[in-house]
Structure 1
Amino acid sequence: MSQVLEPSQPFYFKGVRFYPTNSPVAMEMVESLEVRDDDVFVSAYLKSGTTWTQQIVSLVCADDDISEVCKVPLSERFPWLETVRSGEPVPKLLEKAPSPRLIKTHLPYHMLPQQAKDGRGKIIYCARNVKDVVVSWHNLRRMVNHLPCGTWEENFKEFITPELAYSGFWWDVIPEYWRHKDDGNMLFIKFEDMKRDLRGHVVKIATFLGRTLSDQRIDEVVANCTFSAMKENPATNFSRIPALQKAFFSKAEGSGLEFIRKGEVGDWKNWFSQEENQILETIHEEKMAGLDLTFRFE
């Protein structure tokens, strides 16, 4: 792949703004997707631990040599539900895919396949504190060719504006998933908790998926799911694949930016002005009122 992708325009689907990677054609097919009992959906808001959770899930579910599985690009292990791949909508491709199917999505809960919302398959949702999400999303836009990117101030303002936020307004999307945290087919986890206890979350995810792993196998999964291991692995850090670097990430050349950047808790303090922090905290307090959901911000 040598073509360099240029910025393209976002679009709206059912009142929600999406960025150009998504496909309205694929999204029209999502609700009616036939969900299998052993399907596993990994969902997260943009830049909230999706790649990390996918890596854990794929290795927990692997029956083969983990070192070999780790060489397979994550995008091949986890088709992205609301996109087109090789000219065909992913929901269509999934019809022919062998079980168990591992599926990635950034869709709000109400846009998931109806059968998944009815309890079929498994859904693992990873949430991250909103301040670090804003920063990570801004930096991704700085490096991805086809994503339009403004200044930090412009992107911040866009993020906190409901009708302009991509893939849904954070304060709508996360509470909606949280309200389903006790559904039998839902596991709700947090990025910051995984940072504190990666091994514990490998075990938690394995248990949720009905997988019994030996201590040695758990250690092997953990070793391949650390931030440093994933950053060095081109199968998870896509900006280290030369063809993808040229096609998708060339505008970041020389900047030091990578698809897997820092993976830290609290990096927002290096970006937010006092005024921006106050604005976001006011929104957060208002929108999260009444929810027993809290996040660690540092």
Structure 2
Amino acid sequence: MPLDKMKDLSLECSVTRSETDEVGGVLLPKKVCDRWDQIWNFRARPDDLLIATYAKAGLELAEAMPSPRTLKTHLPVQLVPPSFWEQECKVIYVARNAKDNLVSYYHFHRMNKNMPEPGTWEEFLEKFMAGQVLWGCWYDHVKGWWDAKENHCILYLFYEDLKEDPKREIQKVLQFLEKDLENEVLDKIIHHTTFEIMKDNPMANYTFQPPAVMDHSISPFMRKGTVGDWKNHFTMAQNEKFDEDYRKKMSRTSLTFRMEL
């Protein structure tokens, strides 16, 4: 057997679905929980930029921005290491509407063998509504970060706004970071952070991962990147049930989302 085939075979045998555990009632990968003391005691620097999102929730525009150190997290706000607040670090949070986020997250579970088994669409929908998915409850996540911006230096962006007018949103990021870029550089950032370009970029689309880890034949890592794709997945009954649950959980917040453009 050729050496490359032997490598593929050994990798395929070694990849198993991720085990999970909890920290503070939030479902996290077990490997994260096992290192929780180390994570909680992480020492942030004053000029660190933290990009926070719920999983499968945003285009990471700040990746293209000049910054001393850019860090990423899917943690809910209450689990962010305290040093980020002590050092008064800047944070960019990107939120995506619940229905599209759910659909994208479901397909990500299907193709990524490092994620827990998602079950059927119906089963995953129930797990998502109950908050029994990795990185915790979507509702708690988006509302927690929304409330935190009252006391911390947080720029709260919406995926739907990024799709609608990327230049406007990137300019918000630049202003937040107190950066000034020439129009030519800004146009390059806009070009390279469009979904279509990122989908073809191996550094962004994860095609460098072997099929045993991420099976793009099941679903590409960067699948559609649209707003409103949830309409192709929800049945009428599922949509009515979801909407009723959504209204209850979002009733006491000023945070609002657009489910379509």
TM-score calculated relative to the size of structure 2: 0.90
**8 A contact 1:130–1:170 mirrored in 2:** yes
After the TM superposition, which residues 71-220 of structure 1 pair with which residues of structure 2 at under 5 Å, given as runs? Answer: 100-118=68-86, 120-147=88-115, 148-162=117-131, 164-220=132-188
CA-to-partner distance for each residue in 1:151-183, whole Å, 9 max, x for gaps? 101111111113x23211111111111002234
Residue deviations 1:214-234, cap 9 Å, x none?
Answer: 111100110100010000000
Matched, 1:245 2:210: yes
Runs of 5+ unmatched residues, structure 2: 1-6
CA contact (8 A) 1:159 1:166 kept: no
Q: Please name the residue that 2:3 is paired with.
A: none
Aligned pairs, how many?
A: 249
Moved more, 201-210 or 216-225: 201-210
Asked if residue 17 in structure 1 is aligned to residue 27 in structure 2, the reply is: yes
Q: Determine if contact 1:125/1:187 at 8 Å carries over to the other structure.
A: yes
**Alpha-carbon distance in 2 for matches of 1:260, 1:283:** 28
1:248 counterpart SS class: coil
The residue aligned with 1:236 is 204
Asked if 1 retains the 8 angstrom alpha-carbon contact of 2:56 and 2:105, the reply is yes
Matched, 1:35 2:44: yes
In the TM superposition, what whole-angstrom CA distance separates every residue of 1:110-160 from its partner, at most 9, and x where no partner exists? Answer: 100112234521111000000001100110011011221211011111111
- 1:125 match: secondary structure: strand
The 1:176/1:197 distance shift into structure 2, 3 A limit, reads same
Residue 89 of structure 1 is matched in structure 2 by: none
The separation in 1 between residues aligned to 2:88 and 2:23, in whole angstroms, is 25
Matches of 1:149 and 1:131, distance apart in 2: 16
8 Å Cα contact 2:44-2:84 kept in structure 1: yes
TM-score by length of 1: 0.79
Code of the aligned partner of 2:37: E
Contact 1:124/1:186, CA 8 A, preserved across alignment? yes
SS of the residue corresponding to residue 43 of structure 1 reads strand
Aligned counterpart, 1:78? none
* Misfit runs of 4+, over 4 Å: none
Q: What is the alpha-carbon root mean square deviation over aligned residues?
A: 1.7
Q: Is the 8 A contact 1:35 1:116 kept in 2?
A: yes
Structure 1: unaligned runs, 5 residues or longer: 63-99
Q: Deviations over 1:275-296 (max 9, x none)?
A: 2111211121111112111111
Q: Which residue of 1 aligns with 2:56?
A: 47
Q: Distance in 1 between matches of 2:211 and 2:136?
A: 29
**Contact 1:187/1:208, CA 8 A, preserved across alignment:** yes
Say whether the 8 Å CA contact 2:44–2:87 is kept in structure 1: no
CA contact (8 A) 2:85 2:152 kept: no
